[in-house]
Amino acid sequence: MGLICILLPIIGGIWLLYKKRQTYFVRLVLLLHVLLTGILLFLPDTSWVVWKLTDQLNIVLKTDGLSRIFLAMVSLIWLVVSVYAQDYLEHDENPIRFFAFYLLTLGGLTGLCLAGNFMTLYLFFEAMSLLSVPLVLHTMTREAVAAALKYLIYSIAGASMALIGFFILLHYGSIEFAAGGTLSAAVISEHRDILLAGALFTVVGFGTKAGIFPMHSWLPTAHPVAPAPASAVLSGVITKAGIFAVIRVVYYQFGVELIAGSWVQYVWIILSLISVLMGSTLAFKEQILKKRLAYSSVSQLSYILFGLGTLTPTGFVGAVLHVVCHSVIKNGLFLGAGAVIHQTHKTKVRELDGIGKVMPVTMTCFTICALALVGIPPSGGFVSKWNLIAGSLESGLGLISWLGPVILLVSAVLTAGYLLGISVQAFITGKDKNGAAAGQEVSGRMRNSQMLLAFLAVVLGVFSGPLISYLETIAGGLF
Amino acid sequence: MDFACNFPFFSIMLLMFTGIISMIAGPRPAKILSLAALGISTVLSALLIAYINQTGESFIYMMGHFPAPFGNEISAGMFEAVMAFGICGVAFLSLWGNGASTKTDIPEKKRNLYYIMMDMLMASLLVLIYTNDIFTAYVFVELNTIAACAIVMSKPGGETIAATIRYLIMSLLGSGLFLLGISLIYALTGHLLMPNMHEIIIELVHNSNYTLPLIVIVGLFGVSMAIKSALFPFHSWLPDAHGSATTASSAVLSGLVLKGYIILLIKLFFRVFSLDILKEFHISDVLLVLGLLGMIMGSVKAIKETNIKRMIAYSSVAQIGYIFMGIGMDITIGLVAAVFQILVHMVTKPMLFTAAGGLINVSGHKKDFESLQGSAWKDPLAGVSFIVGSLSMIGIPLFAGFIVKYYLAAAAFDTSKNTLIILAVLVLSTVLNALYYVPAISKIYHRDEASKFNWQDVLRTIGAVGDFPYQASLIIFIILNIILGTCSGPVFQALEMGLDMLG
């Protein structure tokens, strides 16, 4: 079942490259994928060895609570964004290639979510990185090529760092994922140093995908050059692959016990706090809209890494919750930015005066998402940030346990500054200095996707109860 | 003695006689004879593998049934058989696949000589693998060197002549050092057959007699083979020689000839000395450090390179570094990993060279990346092969390169050397590999913004570019790479068994 979920988009993508089907084919594949994922969600936990590479290295597919959450998120957002993309790329030279790689990337992500051991995770992580490069490359301008190269090299460098951890785990423990970690206490006490070094390499390595400092600089380069739907999923979903890998490796491989209170935890948290602050500050200063959103991702993703780094159940719940919320919100924001670019070809923030009068739906959705990201109740962002801060205060890390929340709050204020400023300009500054009124509202499908995402951003906050309790049961097994 | 024990002898003689007969043949019959001889040798080696797998032990074969010192001996086990199989098979594919470019690059009059040299080269490689006699090894090292130089030079042009002279001087330096080593060891032990020398050396080491001369001998063997197999810092001849030769030659030289010397070195280390002695003499430390340096420096040089063939040649320097790193860990599992890397590089590098040759062909015979822009669209199969080769070199799972890294990393934990440093260099070299293969891929796939393109056209081009042997050999190379990447278990067991038989 899991394998079908992975192969469906991959075969669909290859078929699309070969046959140049109409766009309904993409929608069919994605709908089927959502359906299959839906069925998978309600099937009991399974684990299946697909192939043995060597005696030790297996390809294993497995479903558990965490993979369900990520899988549902990926599958749904992929469908929503594809609806938007069909109109967005209407006049594009090469929509087929875009959708083909869009589907292939989904295959890689699905495999990543279902990975049952580190080997499979690594395989799909690399596959997804490679397959998503054409999304960045799409326009084929010199800038895009340079950005794609940067993206790829950072990805490979990150994955290679994680490979050190992989080798260490392979030798000292097992690479199967098991809640709470796989290392025995005897091994931990004997080889503590090398295990910790491996853990740090892995966290920073996979964190590269989520733009952790000092491996963040590819993100603001690569995300803005892609077409808006691609930037949306790159920034909103693909970066979460890095988060997912970090969760898997830390909570299911190295184990909380090893890292809690060690220097690795401090380094991890400090790096993520630096990224939070730096991301927001740079976003505040940035004038190009999509770049601003990309910097915002750097900061928001590090919220999540910070939450994971606290190594407390509350922090974990907050982090995963923020994964879901940020996915929805960031996709909404990028789609909004894309809509503006699509209609008016304006990329700079200061050109957006009065745009809200011309594109009211787009800018309203944008504003709702912005408010949710800042963390205004009752949006999703509020609930997740609440948990993150609570987790930090529980962590008992001395100075950091209260410095963390302070930085998160400062960053939230900055977020309000860099996002709501745009809304203010769009709706209130009214005067059309630059002729922004030349455009008009986007088509129905693009509008619907944005409205759905904005709606979800609020719903996630209001009805977050079931999700939180589900996450709490997962977290219960990990600590 | 079973009939199968004749197979190594048969393949060597077959290749040598093919060379002799080709002297009176035209270029085309010479090529066909060469390919036939290589094909038959491949089959014979495969049968030999099956035979040894059945008997489960190595054997010693006396040529002409004269006992030493008058006769000459061949020793064959699983290791030798697998290596011979790989070498003959890959040589067949490289020559067969690149027949068309050989035809354009080598003048008509010289072409049968080219194939004669190829036959001699392959025969001497097989001897290096099979021989049990260290002086025979020397003779064929020389033959190998001369044949290799002639092969580089056979493509006319000043570039190749300069490269050949450089190659010749470095190679002869290596041969000279090797001969010096042989003289010293002969003076110490009075034997030229490997097992006999082994007995005496064990005794000498046991009584700690002649320790210094023995260290010198091991050093001489190590350095001479390191020069010949282009281990950093003795690599400077390699990019010129491999970068300027015709594609088939580059593939064979880079993929096979370098490995012949390493295989000989492993045999010397195992059969004449032993891992314990090497450890005691610290020669493995030197090889490990040079291997690690080579892994980094080879890639650093490759990053700066703008000529695609020279870039791939520099990448060989890095890959040879992996092999020496495996040897330098001086534990059996490290050596098995090194030998596995020999095999993997044997199928990957000729694929990369063949693909690069194809790309160069469709871009007006220019080798710099500027001219190669977009060439992968004109020859999609070469583009795909180049990607597969690059991914394997970078170490993406499912391709052969990843499995090598896994085995080397697994060995790194068992060695007495510093595990973390080895792991770090292994990973660093992965990143460095990506730093030149990824931009290379992006260049060969670069298109002008204006040019319209259509996937179906591209798909139609596959099959339209190049002749059948070229396409078939590329596809076989891709399949081999993926097989080594996904089903490496049996191969690895065979190599383990082979090294077990050696020592």
Per-position DSSP letters for A77-122, written without gaps between them: HHHHHHHHHHHHTTT-S-HHHHHHHHHHHHHHHHHHHHB-BHHHHH
Query: B460: pLDDT confidence band, cut at 50, 70 and 90?
Result: low
Residue with the two structure tokens 């030289």: B253
What is d(CA B189, CA B187) in angstroms, rounded to the nearest whole number? 6
**Residue A464 phi, psi dihedral angles, 5° rounding:** -80, -10
Q: What is the pLDDT of residues A262-298, one digit of tens each?
A: 889 999 999 999 999 999 999 988 888 888 999 999 9
Record: contact B410-A170, CB cut-off 8 A: yes
| 3-state SS assignment for residue B255 | helix
Record: contact A53-B430, CB cut-off 8 A: no
Record: contact B413-A171, CB cut-off 8 A: yes
Please check whether residue A72 is in contact with residue A110, taking contact to mean a CB–CB distance below 8 angstroms. Answer: no
Please check whether residue A381 is in contact with residue A461, taking contact to mean a CB–CB distance below 8 angstroms. Answer: yes
A171 → chain B, closest CA residue = B410
| CB atoms near residue A24 (< 10 Å) | 9
| B423 contacts in chain A (CB < 8 Å) | 164, 167-168
Best mutation site among B406, B448, B459 for testing chain A: the one with the most A CBs within 10 Å?
Answer: B406
Q: What is the pLDDT of residues B19-44, one digit of tens each?
A: 888 888 888 888 889 999 999 999 99
Average pLDDT, chain A: 85
Please check whether residue A242 is in contact with residue A210, taking contact to mean a CB–CB distance below 8 angstroms. Answer: yes
A16 → chain B, closest CA residue = B455
A17, A20, A153 ranked by CB distance to B435: nearest: A153
B437 → chain A, closest CA residue = A153
B451 close contact with A: CB closer than 8 A: no
Please check whether residue B320 is in contact with residue B287, taking contact to mean a CB–CB distance below 8 angstroms. Answer: no
Residue B402 makes CB contacts below 8 A (sequence gap 6+) with B392, B395, B396, B485
What is d(CA A226, CA A349) in angstroms, rounded to the nearest whole number? 18
Record: contact A149-B397, CB cut-off 8 A: no
What's the pLDDT score for residue A45? 81
Q: Which two tokens stand for residue A297?
A: 């991702």
B460 close contact with A: CB closer than 8 A: no
| B391 contacts in chain A (CB < 8 Å) | 130
Query: A394: pLDDT confidence band, cut at 50, 70 and 90?
Result: confident
Sheet strands (E) in A318-442: none
B431 close contact with A: CB closer than 8 A: yes
Secondary structure, 3-state, B127-173: HHHHECEHHHHHHHHHHHHHHHHHHHHCCCCHHHHHHHHHHHHHHHH
Residue A180 pLDDT exceeds 50: yes
What is d(CA B337, CA B288) in angstroms, rounded to the nearest whole number? 14
A17, A130, A145 ranked by CB distance to B442: nearest: A145
Q: Do β-strands A47-52 and B59-63 pair in parallel, antiparallel, or remain unpaired?
A: unpaired
Residue with the two structure tokens 């990448």: B315
Record: contact A53-B435, CB cut-off 8 A: no
B420 → chain A, closest CA residue = A194
pLDDT, average across residues A380-391: 86
Least confident range of A8-22, A107-121, B153-167, B263-277: A8-22
Strand partners of residue A135: none
| B419 contacts in chain A (CB < 8 Å) | 194
| 3-state SS assignment for residue A60 | strand
Q: CA-CA distances (angstroms) from residue B93 to A391, B14, B279?
A: 61, 18, 39
* Higher per-residue confidence, A207 vs A54: A207
| A18 contacts in chain B (CB < 8 Å) | 455-456, 459
pLDDT, average across residues B164-169: 90
Which helix (H) or strand (E) covers residue B296, if one does?
helix B283-304
B420, B434, B485 ranked by CB distance to A197: nearest: B420
What's the pLDDT score for residue B182? 92
B454 → chain A, closest CA residue = A94
pLDDT, average across residues A146-152: 88
Residue A396 makes CB contacts below 8 A (sequence gap 6+) with none
Smallest Cα–Cα separation from B498: which of B129, B96, B156?
B129
Percentage above 90 pLDDT, chain B: 27
B303 close contact with A: CB closer than 8 A: no
pLDDT, average across residues B57-74: 76
Residue B331 pLDDT exceeds 90: no
What is this structure's pTM?
0.90
Record: contact B409-A54, CB cut-off 8 A: no
Record: contact A164-B423, CB cut-off 8 A: yes
In whole angstroms, how large is the CA radius of gyration of chain A? Answer: 21
B485 close contact with A: CB closer than 8 A: yes
Residue with the two structure tokens 């990143």: B431
What is d(CA B382, CA B347) in angstroms, rounded to the nearest whole number? 15
A53, A157, A167 ranked by CB distance to B409: nearest: A167
Terminal CA-CA length for chain A: 30
Residue with the two structure tokens 């990224």: A275
Q: Cα angle vertex B222, ends B219, B223, to 5°?
A: 85
Residue B162 makes CB contacts below 8 A (sequence gap 6+) with B240
Please check whether residue B382 is in contact with residue B413, taking contact to mean a CB–CB distance below 8 angstroms. Answer: no
Record: contact B455-A18, CB cut-off 8 A: yes
| 3-state SS assignment for residue A312 | coil
In our burial notation (b when 16+ CB lie closer than 10 A, e otherwise), range B229-258 reads: bbbbebbebbbbbbbbbbbbbbbbbbbbbb
Residue A438 pLDDT exceeds 60: no
pLDDT, average across residues B126-138: 89
What is d(CA A196, CA A69) in angstroms, rounded to the nearest whole number? 28
What is d(CA A104, CA A120) in angstroms, rounded to the nearest whole number? 17
Record: contact B486-A53, CB cut-off 8 A: yes
B489 → chain A, closest CA residue = A54
Record: contact B456-A20, CB cut-off 8 A: yes
What is d(CA B193, CA A234) in angstroms, rounded to the nearest whole number? 64
B423, B446, B487 ranked by CB distance to A167: nearest: B423
Record: contact A163-B430, CB cut-off 8 A: yes
pLDDT, average across residues A166-174: 86
Q: What is the pLDDT of residues B467-503, one digit of tens each?
A: 788 888 999 999 999 998 888 888 888 888 888 888 6
What is d(CA A187, CA A172) in angstroms, rounded to the nearest whole number? 7
| CB atoms near residue A43 (< 10 Å) | 11
Amino acid identity at A63? T
Q: Is the bond leading into A405 cis (omega within 30 degrees of zero)?
A: no
Record: contact B419-A194, CB cut-off 8 A: yes
What is d(CA A241, CA B39) in angstroms, rounded to the nearest whole number? 48
What's the pLDDT score for residue A437? 52
Which helix (H) or strand (E) covers residue A9, if one does?
helix A2-19
pLDDT, average across residues A410-439: 75
What part of B 338-397 touches A (C-beta under 8 Å)? 391, 394-397
B412, B434, B489 ranked by CB distance to A156: nearest: B434
Q: Which residues of A touch B (CB under 8 A)?
A: 17-18, 20, 51-57, 93, 96-97, 119, 122-123, 126-127, 130, 140-141, 145, 148-149, 152-153, 156-157, 160-161, 163-164, 167-168, 170-171, 194, 197
Best mutation site among A120, A163, A172 for testing chain B: the one with the most B CBs within 10 Å?
Answer: A163
Smallest Cα–Cα separation from A219: which of A330, A335, A298, A302?
A298
| 3-state SS assignment for residue B193 | strand
Q: CA-CA distances (angstroms) from residue B98 to B147, B252, B355?
A: 19, 11, 10
What's the pLDDT score for residue B85? 93
The percent helix, strand, coil of chain A (3-state, each to 5) is 80, 5, 20
Record: contact A156-B442, CB cut-off 8 A: no
Residue B213 makes CB contacts below 8 A (sequence gap 6+) with B184, B188
Which helix (H) or strand (E) covers residue A50, if one does?
strand A47-52
Task: Report CA B241 to chain centroid distance, whole Å.
Answer: 15
What is d(CA A326, CA A460) in angstroms, rounded to the nearest whole number? 11
Residue B396 pLDDT exceeds 80: yes
Task: Report CA B397 to chain centroid distance, whole Å.
Answer: 23
| B398 contacts in chain A (CB < 8 Å) | 53, 123
Query: B450: pLDDT confidence band, cut at 50, 70 and 90?
Result: very low
What's the pLDDT score for residue A30? 84
What is d(CA B346, CA B229) in angstroms, rounded to the nearest whole number? 13
Please check whether residue A453 is in contact with residue A326, taking contact to mean a CB–CB distance below 8 angstroms. Answer: no
Smallest Cα–Cα separation from B408: which of B482, B339, B483, B500?
B339
What's the pLDDT score for residue B481? 92
Amino acid identity at A310? T
Q: What is the DSSP letter of B73?
A: E
Query: B74: pLDDT confidence band, cut at 50, 70 and 90?
Result: confident
B483 close contact with A: CB closer than 8 A: no
A195 → chain B, closest CA residue = B420
Give how far A122 is from chain B: nearest CA, Å.
8
Q: Is the bond leading into B195 cis (omega within 30 degrees of zero)?
A: no
Record: contact B438-A161, CB cut-off 8 A: no
Q: CA-CA distances (angstroms) from residue B366 to B127, B371, B373, B462?
A: 37, 6, 11, 21
What's the pLDDT score for residue B463? 59
Q: What is the DSSP letter of B307?
A: B
Record: contact B488-A20, CB cut-off 8 A: no
Record: contact B403-A163, CB cut-off 8 A: no
Query: B459: pLDDT confidence band, cut at 50, 70 and 90?
Result: low
pLDDT, average across residues B395-405: 89
Record: contact B405-A197, CB cut-off 8 A: no
What's the pLDDT score for residue B126? 92
A127 → chain B, closest CA residue = B396
pLDDT, average across residues A451-472: 87
| 3-state SS assignment for residue A130 | helix
| B400 contacts in chain A (CB < 8 Å) | none
What is d(CA A428, CA A425) in angstroms, rounded to the nearest whole number? 6
In whole angstroms, how large is the CA radius of gyration of chain B? Answer: 22
| B408 contacts in chain A (CB < 8 Å) | none
> Using CA of residue B129, residue B130, residue B136, residue B140, what is the dihedral sign?
negative
For the CA atoms of A437, A442, A444, A446, the dihedral, rounded to the nearest 10 degrees, stands at -150
Query: A20: pLDDT confidence band, cut at 50, 70 and 90?
Result: low
Give how far A189 is from chain B: nearest CA, Å.
17
Smallest Cα–Cα separation from A1: which of A74, A101, A71?
A71
Percentage above 70 pLDDT, chain A: 97
Maximum pairwise Cα distance, chain A: 70
Alpha helices in A173-262 (DSSP H): 185-190, 192-207, 218-225, 228-233, 239-249, 256-259
What's the pLDDT score for residue B490? 86
Q: Cα angle vertex B188, ends B182, B193, to 5°?
A: 55
Residue B431 pLDDT exceeds 50: yes
